[in-house]
Structure 1
Amino acid sequence: MKTCPQCGEAKPVTDFGRNRALRDGLSFYCLSCNRERNRRWYRDSRRRQGREVRDHSWVPEGFRWCPSCHQAVAHEDFARSARTSSGFGSQCKPCKYAADMDRYYARRYGLDRAGIDELRARQSDLCAICGDPRPAHIDHDHERDFVRALLCERCNLALGLFRDDPSLMRAAADYVELHRLRHARSLGDSDPDDAVLRRLLGGAGPVAPGG
């Protein structure tokens, strides 16, 4: 046990930081008092410089203030950093993720948030191919290096799997349509247009009843 001269309480040694300069190897003040002293020094220093001092004394234990979303955020939802003495970064996880994505879009596509919002408004916030709401992927022509539109995950993935080749996509569409018409014809459920079947079969002659 060790008594903190600031609060006058006898506390376990685990409540004290390390200080090799002192005989017992422990800091002079307990951790909570030391934090308060450091905060007070920081606030006083900022005031002497004529800079704004925010009062975060209301932030409960186990929470940190995020300057980006202006909220008190639980420690487990705060970004971590090995570079700071506290072990925490400057933003909560959602804010850091948003900032990282902004930097990525600017570096990769030359788009800022306003540019993405303009794309979204132009498309009425719908996927440019299937019309699903809230498309989250920026479609990019890798060969010519320009942004095309916003797509949903499925459509963006499909373009990649078809290697951005229009001929492959048309062939796939014809393939699906041909087999649907053949199946309908074999069941006698409908009377598919023979001209459509001939087109899909590459201009072949009369189509036999079985397809």
Structure 2
Amino acid sequence: MSDRPCPACGKSLAGSHINKKYCDSKCRQKGYAETALAHARRRRQENPDYVRELDRAKDLRRNFGLTPEKYKVMLDAQNGGCAICGRAAEEVGDRVSRRLAVDHCHSSGRIRGLLCRACNVAIGQLRDDPELIRRAAAYVMENA
């Protein structure tokens, strides 16, 4: 007999089978989930760059249907820079935004290109409206 406590809830395991680790199935699920979370935290701490790249690859695939290889091909086709201003990915700002954003049409989902954060935000602020973007460009040209 075991007088160990259940690691999930603390209830005594007295009277339980000697090899039993948890008092019931809910505690077993909770214990396994906590173990998986602890493992994920440890992996993130030990290999932050590797995990960041895995997360980025997963986001590219889920949000845009792109593999990291296709992203690289697009980046190379744009000479390593933003499709609008040409700034290289390494020049675009803080650590979070050092990658170029995948610009896409929000109604069709079609990928247009890779943009730095500033250009991507500018287009978004102009609601992806070509006429509004032309008028903004004309305004800047007239008042330069």
Same fold, TM exceeding 0.5? yes
Distance in 1 between the 2:110 and 2:83 partners? 16
**Equivalent residue for 1:160?**
124
State the Cα distance separating 1:85 from its structure 2 match.
Answer: 7.2
**Equivalent residue for 2:39?**
88
The runs of at least 4 aligned residues of structure 1 exceeding 4 Å deviation read: none
Residues 171 and 93 from structure 1, CA distance in 2 versus in 1: closer, same or farther, beyond 3 angstroms?
same
Residues 125 and 86 from structure 1, CA distance in 2 versus in 1: closer, same or farther, beyond 3 angstroms?
closer
Distance in 2 between the 1:85 and 1:164 partners? 42
Q: 3-state SS of the aligned residue for 1:100?
A: helix
Distance in 1 between the 2:3 and 2:38 partners? 21
Q: 2:109 corresponds to which letter in structure 1?
A: D
Q: 3-state SS of the aligned residue for 1:87?
A: helix
Q: TM-score if structure 2 supplies the norm length?
A: 0.63
Q: 1:162 corresponds to which letter in structure 2?
A: L
Residues 173 and 106 from structure 1, CA distance in 2 versus in 1: closer, same or farther, beyond 3 angstroms?
same
Residues 129 and 86 from structure 1, CA distance in 2 versus in 1: closer, same or farther, beyond 3 angstroms?
closer
Unmatched segments (≥5 aa) in structure 1: 1-18, 23-81, 181-211
Identity fraction in percent: 32
Distance in 2 between the 1:20 and 1:87 partners? 26
Q: Which has the larger radius of gyration?
A: 1
> Paired residue for 1:151, among 115, 119, 129?
115
Q: 2:117 corresponds to which letter in structure 1?
A: E
**Equivalent residue for 1:56?**
none
Q: Taking CA–CA contacts closer than 8 Å with sequence separation of 6 or more, which of the two structures ends up with the larger relative contact order?
A: 2
Q: 3-state SS of the aligned residue for 2:136?
A: helix
Structure 1 or 2: more helix by fraction: 2
Q: TM-score if structure 1 supplies the norm length?
A: 0.44
**Equivalent residue for 2:61?**
106
Q: 3-state SS of the aligned residue for 2:143?
A: helix
State the Cα distance separating 1:106 from its structure 2 match.
Answer: 0.5
Distance in 2 between the 1:171 and 1:102 partners? 37
Question: Residue deviations 1:54-99, cap 9 Å, x none?
Answer: xxxxxxxxxxxxxxxxxxxxxxxxxxxx632792324522222221
* Aligned counterparts, 1:43-62, within 5 A: none
Distance in 2 between the 1:139 and 1:93 partners? 26
Distance in 2 between the 1:123 and 1:85 partners? 41
Count of matched residue pairs? 103
91-100 or 113-122, which deviates more: 91-100
Residues 85 and 114 from structure 1, CA distance in 2 versus in 1: closer, same or farther, beyond 3 angstroms?
closer
State the Cα distance separating 1:137 from its structure 2 match.
Answer: 0.7
Q: 3-state SS of the aligned residue for 1:175?
A: helix
